[in-house]
Structure 1
């Protein structure tokens, strides 16, 4: 079963506080960034095409000892840090979500004229897709709670040292161009401000937040945010 969601920018209720970590600030955002953020928020509604969705799969076999998850006969090879967190899952949800092309295209268009503002628009694209996926995850959590079940955190290829090669299997569970997202030959999603991954469903599962102590990736943006 596949479910699809659409959001307007205003529904995400993004604030300066959401932007700060990805801009490299912990709390107080120095000038001129507040005015740039305000400009990006004002233009974002016309630039965003926010879509996402998920696919329930109950045919799974999780083997944390060898970091393999078999989903409907397709073999995924996340790291042990991921498979261990999903070992109690009774079902898995595969998801994709995108902010659309608009924010990235606008950032490129103004990059020579105003590189700092372009950077803020680019960061906003990253924040939009994560906040949209937060809303989708909240909806999923409410849905499975009616059955007495919980959900895990979400895990994505490219994070927690999980190879991007599993993107091919993940996207095979969705129709072509689902939510306007395409997977390139180099396994990069287009629009670039898109995310994909897996969430576990099962009794006693609950989101625990970034488990950075289980991951060795020092370049991960989420790990950097947590360390800040």
Structure 2
């Protein structure tokens, strides 16, 4: 299992302002914008980026809608088997923005400081997005050198790749190594954390996107770049 911590996080401020309701930043008063920027600056210092990943052999059984990982752990679902249909390996990962910013978000909500909470919440989401993108860029260079292709990533919660399959990811990866644990309801803690997997194989090409919004069922996601298309 590989662990990365040397990740200089940067965020797309335009996305963050859009998420908290400011599509046109020129309409924000200087005082409000300054207070938001102060929260962003302090929030960035709270982020402790960590990513754990493992490259595994897989076997896809499309007739049983099952993907076996290293022969003893599996993922279920038509979407997952279709996504990995021509793959012989997968890279499975866990990522977190760390416990400190998660606690600060919780504290802000408890104190009814909803603007601060929303800013930090969006900031942590964008940090995770940026960490994954940086990891993706590293992977693409390595995979190209091996003459392989790579899919975009999918995560538990995509279509019939259910959140309960976080359990399989935690069997493959030791989340404790980066301070993560899984609740009985399959929620990753600290809350600002995520998981996913990429497929690898010969002849599948390099995906143009790290993540395909057309496969994501979170219809009101503020980061959506294309409409959801039902995958059969």
For 1:120 and 1:173, locate their aligned partners in 2 and report how far apart those are by CA, in whole Å. 33
Corresponding pairs, count: 221
* Corresponding residue number in structure 2 for 1:81: 79
For 2:3 and 2:167, locate their aligned partners in 1 and report how far apart those are by CA, in whole Å. 20
For 2:171 and 2:222, locate their aligned partners in 1 and report how far apart those are by CA, in whole Å. 27
- Closer/same/farther in 2, CA of residues 15 and 197 from structure 1, 3 Å limit: closer
In the TM superposition, what is the alpha-carbon distance from 1:131 to its structure 2 partner? 0.9
Q: CA RMSD in A?
A: 2.6
Contiguous gaps of at least 5 residues in structure 2: none
Q: 1:17 aligns with which of 1, 4, 14?
A: 14
* Corresponding residue number in structure 1 for 2:24: 28
Taking the TM superposition and a 5 Å limit, the aligned residue runs for 1:108-147 are 108-111=106-109, 112-147=111-146
* Corresponding residue number in structure 1 for 2:45: 46
In the TM superposition, what is the alpha-carbon distance from 1:57 to its structure 2 partner? 0.5
In the TM superposition, what is the alpha-carbon distance from 1:45 to its structure 2 partner? 3.8
* Corresponding residue number in structure 1 for 2:97: 99
* Corresponding residue number in structure 2 for 1:182: 181
In the TM superposition, what is the alpha-carbon distance from 1:113 to its structure 2 partner? 4.9
* Corresponding residue number in structure 2 for 1:64: 62
In the TM superposition, what is the alpha-carbon distance from 1:63 to its structure 2 partner? 2.8
For 2:15 and 2:215, locate their aligned partners in 1 and report how far apart those are by CA, in whole Å. 25
Do residues 90 (structure 1) and 96 (structure 2) align?
Answer: no
For 2:146 and 2:5, locate their aligned partners in 1 and report how far apart those are by CA, in whole Å. 25
- Given that 1:159 and 1:220 are in contact with CA atoms closer than 8 Å, whether structure 2 keeps it comes out as no
SS of structure 2 residue aligned to 1:153: coil
For 1:135 and 1:57, locate their aligned partners in 2 and report how far apart those are by CA, in whole Å. 20
In the TM superposition, what is the alpha-carbon distance from 1:99 to its structure 2 partner? 0.2
- Given that 1:99 and 1:193 are in contact with CA atoms closer than 8 Å, whether structure 2 keeps it comes out as yes
In the TM superposition, what is the alpha-carbon distance from 1:162 to its structure 2 partner? 1.8
Instruction: Give CA deviations for 1:127-185 in whole Å, capped at 9, x if unaligned.
Output: 11111111112112222221111211011001234211111111111225021111111
For normalisation by structure 2, the TM-score amounts to 0.83
